[in-house]
Amino acid sequence: MKGSLTPTLLTLLLTLGMVGGCGRATETRLIDLAIVGTHDAAAFNASPQLRCQDLTLEEQLEVGVRAFDLRLVDRYDGSGCLDLYHGEESLGLEFTKEVLPLFTQFLTAHPDEFVILSLRKEDDERHSQEEMKAYIQSLQRALERPEVARLLYRGQLTRETKVSEVRGKLLILLRTRIDEDVCLPYFDGFQDDTTFVARLVNPCGGTLDLLVEDEYIVSDTFDMSDKKVALTEVLDYAEVMPDHWLIAYLSGTGNATPEEVAEEINPYAYRLLQERKSLPGGIYFVDFAGMPEALAIMTLCKKKNSKI
């Protein structure tokens, strides 16, 4: 299977002590929670080939989504504005003034909750020193606004981080690394269209091992067997790698639209998760979170979390 962890790699991880755990702490670890996220969370008004969601960001929060994959593009005009994009298509939302307030207001009203934002610079081709500086400055300016800064999680993110430590907080995960002196965890070793191990690294201290499935190019458009195999395999790996934070993307595209993939994969993923003896903790990024099977996955996660 393309990109999958091979038995040889799994054996190596076991030998190196990178698989297995030291037993549960008395308080729930963040990585043991089953969290539903949305892939390309803001792409609810995009064109059919790029549309990934059927609920607005507010509606996603209401139904129980707690992790949001957001793609940002700077305007490069000194304004500090960061627009939400999917690929080359603008989604008609600005991050600082329209998107961040949704999350800060939610956390202020619900201090027992937390929100995870995975942030990526979407226009990767614009990576000159000046362009990177503009993006970094705009993002820092957005996160340093007082109403945002007071809610940012600034502690270490490790396998032992407890749920209680992140309650009421906005946890930022950087797909695109910014300055070394910014104490926010970034993805180290993120790969494209595969299943892999990586790390979240905080320059100010703390690392967290990851197990990531992001096999998004669906070649088999008939029954999408390649994506189904990828999801099944990563859940098997997660069971023997309890100290890695699982990040599984249920989303996909290719010759099929994201909606066509979701219509096949969301029901499959629900059955797959429902039939397992245990539901691994981690983030399950879905497309079309309003579909009945996606909502059913959220219910499964809530039941799992109530037992730990």
| Grouped pLDDT means (10 residues each) for the chain, 308 residues | 48 39 62 99 98 99 99 98 98 99 99 98 93 96 98 96 98 92 93 98 95 98 96 98 99 97 99 95 99 98 92
User: Which amino acid would we find at residue 189?
Assistant: G
**According to DSSP H, which parts of the chain are helical?**
7-15, 57-63, 100-109, 129-143, 146-149, 163-166, 225-239, 258-275, 292-306
Per-residue model confidence (pLDDT) at position 101: 99
Residues 6+ apart with CB under 8 A from 71: 40, 42, 84, 85, 86, 120, 121, 122
For residue 296, tell me if it sits in a domain. yes
For residue 70, tell me if it sits in a domain. yes
Altogether, the residues listed in the chain come to a count of 308
Helix (H) or strand (E) holding 286: strand 282-286
Per-residue model confidence (pLDDT) at position 25: 39
Per-residue model confidence (pLDDT) at position 180: 75
> How many whole angstroms separate alpha carbon 93 and alpha carbon 141?
17
For residue 135, tell me if it sits in a domain. yes
Let me know the angle formed at the C-alpha of 35 by 30 and 39, rounded to the nearest 5 degrees: 125
Domain assignment of residue 140, given as a range: 27-306
CB 103 within 8 Å of CB 113: no
> How many whole angstroms separate alpha carbon 299 and alpha carbon 155?
29
Name the one residue in this structure whose structure tokens are 């797959």. 272
Per-residue model confidence (pLDDT) at position 77: 97
At 275, list the tokens: 């039939």
Residues 6+ apart with CB under 8 A from 66: 35, 36, 37, 113, 114, 115, 116
For residue 106, tell me if it sits in a domain. yes
Per-residue model confidence (pLDDT) at position 182: 85
For residue 6, tell me if it sits in a domain. no
* Structural domains in the chain (count): 1
For residue 58, tell me if it sits in a domain. yes
For residue 161, tell me if it sits in a domain. yes
- 23: alpha, beta or left, given left = phi > 0 and alpha = psi -120 to 50? left
For residue 301, tell me if it sits in a domain. yes
Per-residue model confidence (pLDDT) at position 175: 97
CATH number of the domain at 228, please. 3.20.20.190
**According to DSSP H, which parts of 186-257 are helical?**
225-239
